[in-house]
């Protein structure tokens, strides 16, 4: 039996795969909010530890790796 013909009565239109404009806007807002939170976390690190915190971390990691290779 070919079952596809029986399910064709409720065949989903291709547009159902594309979010409507309202949910598309919601998705974009959610991503924008997430990006904003990531930026604010990075900003909080800079405020708390100073601008060079991440650079210092990288230097410490490099030194640690060098010590491990000796």
Q: What is the pLDDT of residues 33-66, one digit of tens each?
A: 888 888 888 788 778 777 677 778 888 889 999 9
Identify whether 13 is part of a domain: no
Q: Which domain holds residue 64?
A: 19-69
Identify whether 64 is part of a domain: yes
Three-state DSSP class for 49?
helix
pLDDT at position 63, please? 92
Residue 13, pLDDT above cutoff 80: no
- DSSP H helices, 1-70, are 4-7, 21-49, 53-69
Rounded Cα distance, 64 and 61, in Å: 5
Identify whether 48 is part of a domain: yes
Rounded Cα distance, 50 and 60, in Å: 16
Identify whether 5 is part of a domain: no
Identify whether 42 is part of a domain: yes
Identify whether 28 is part of a domain: yes
pLDDT at position 41, please? 81
pLDDT band at 4 (very low <50, low <70, confident <90, very high): low
Q: What is the pTM of this model?
A: 0.34
Of the two residues 12 and 45, the one the predictor is more confident about is 45
């Amino acid at each position: 039996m070919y079952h596809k013909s029986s399910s064709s009565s409720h065949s989903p239109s291709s547009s159902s795969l594309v979010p409507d404009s309202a949910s598309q806007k919601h998705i974009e807002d959610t991503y924008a909010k997430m990006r904003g939170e990531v930026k604010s976390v990075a900003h909080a690190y800079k405020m708390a530890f100073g601008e060079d915190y991440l650079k210092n971390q990288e230097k410490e990691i490099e030194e640690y790796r060098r010590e491990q290779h000796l």
